[in-house]
Structure 1
Amino acid sequence: MTHTCTKVTVRQRAIRNDKISLYLDYYPAVRNPETMQMSRREYLGIYIYAHPKNEMEREFNNDMLNKAEAIRCIRVQSLINEEFGFLDKHKMKADFLAYFAKMTRSKDQKWKVVYAHFSNFVQGKCSFGEVNVDLCKRFRTYLLNAKQLKHTRHKVSLNSAAGYYSTFRGLLKIAYRDKLLRENINDFLDKIECQDVKKEYLTLDEVKQLAATPCDIPVLKAASLFSCLTGLRISDIMNLQWSDFGIAPDHGYCIRIRTQKTKTEATLPISHEAFELCGEVGTGKVFKGLSRSMINYPLKNWLKQAKINKHITFHCFRHSFATIQIAAGTDIYTVSKMLTHRNVSTTQIYAELVSEKKRESANKISLK
């Protein structure tokens, strides 16, 4: 497509209530690539006072005229680059919130939480035209001060806010890729930095201690120990089906899964002991009756009965699997594959934890 150089001028049109509407005049006219119609005018939705009465109104007019001029400069650059997305007003009026909701259907639970926070932030209404750098920066500030959705008396933690904002920026990237946003807003946004959090885990002796302690909910005990032996997340354990099991070429058991969090396809070998924790072979879900409510107070009570005083969550069983494997001499690449990490660098933190334990162990022997 050959583009004739177009002149863009900010013009004014008198309207009622003693106001003036600002618009851009394109000469010669440009063609809207969506409707294929020629267009000369683009109304900016910016209004100024026709007869400013005081210094405040004159200052307001100058500010609005500067904004209009900034938009004009952006349009000139777009025309030079032959990017005509700004002409599609229907796209700008489309419901961004509905698009966000649609995207959550194929994503994990975090996306739904981020959607709920964003919906609260924009009070249930947001078009694509409203999604700009300023809005996204204000949403960042909102997340840093927001209350949790369920436990409204508690603030969203810094690391949770960082994860939520990262997910939101991922959505912006997809929308820009799909040409639903005019610019890559992420180029102008700062991420929320996480703070280092100590990863709690159980030693092998503590896992054995937990296994020897009775639990009031058998399926919780079986799923917890299964996580310690496989490194699987709670989401993947809850979705685990008997049809996911198979026999590997070495005649050992394995499971074929698509992880809930990262959507990674993996075939993971499991030990005979881990397979026994699944109970009698059947159909449907393996850990029937397991619910997320069990991993709160019931899990804490079981840990208390086992006399384990660490702050252990269900996810810590995954940390336990990694640290025990590395401490036992399993190479970090293999552990990374077992955890379905995309990068070995993600697994490296467990190696550092084990190094700390080795240092503690070395210092326990003293001749003084």
Structure 2
Amino acid sequence: MLDLETPYSRAALLNPNHCAIELEDQSIDAIITERRQQLDTVLCEISDLETIMDGIQTLHRQVLEKKNKLIESINSHERLRLALWRLPTEILSHIFVSCLPEDKYLLPASRLPPILLTRICRRWREVAVGTPGLWCRLRLAVEHNDWQKRAFCYDAWLKRTQDHPLSLALRCYDNWTPLVQSLLRPYIHRISSLDIDFQRVEQPECVFKDFSALQELIIPNPITFKLLSSFAPFEISIDRQDAFLHLLRLCPNLSSLTNHVAFFQNKSLKPFTHPKLESLRLYGNPWICREPLWGMFSALSLPNLRVLHVWNTSTWPHEEFKMFLERSACPLESLVFGGIVITTVEQRVEYVALVPLLQVVVRNTGRTSICDK
């Protein structure tokens, strides 16, 4: 607090008629100058306080805005929760399916749908578990690590598919094919798409007994192909073309097949027609076999073939393939030669002349050339 008492203020109090008389110890001008300095200081303090008060008011307003936004968010989510609870099960199931990752095969991870959807609340779990479309795609890995736990998880997952077709990617890293057989036996008749890869398997055993629903098959390596011996009483070997044709015979509903081939030519092959195969992708190894397809096109007919990719097969059976096209009378739309596949422009023009609307693409040496009508 300021002490504003001066001799003049006391003199004025005692004798108002003499308040203007200057006292000897201090002049009025000095007192006024001091007071003005004090007033300037107080005015600065007031300005500082007003600035602080403005800041506090701004902070208060910002905090109030945060409070209002939080209340609005809570209310909107409360309304959303109520709306979700009122959604029919069919609509909620459709929303759940839309939440699935775009990957072709799903990992059974708790942080990802569909398992994540079962961890939100009781009703979401009931709806998710009761929606077979959420569980029809699965990537399985068969190895030593925690197999019993893995098998329980895979089986619980597959049971939720009910009677829907299955798309599976199967990776087996050791000689554990009996475990695969035991796990998948109840579901084998519903597998429509299979990407199968076995590694480090010393003694292949029967894995599957019935591929009646299979429409798509991807075989990434020769070892896996040998494991398909369960298709027939005899063992299928990768170096035989008749094994490949036999595989097609045993998969009558197959519409797509991808395979890495290293066939050696058979002396004679029985003619075979597969009526449903639409897409065939063959990847060869010219350092193992330079003529993997010679003789095979003479026996094979694919009247529904639309896409054919041939990579790294070195020499190419041109005349056989022409007869194959004429005999199959297929609606082939895309013929792709890639890597080391020796064809000529004249040969590719002949293919275009045989098949209406055919587009022939050559992809090698970093360039792509297209031949069509």
Q: State the TM-score, normalizing by the size of structure 2.
A: 0.23
Q: Give the TM-score, by structure 1 length.
A: 0.23
Which has the larger Rg?
A: 2
> Which has the bigger relative contact order, CA under 8 A and spacing at least 6?
1
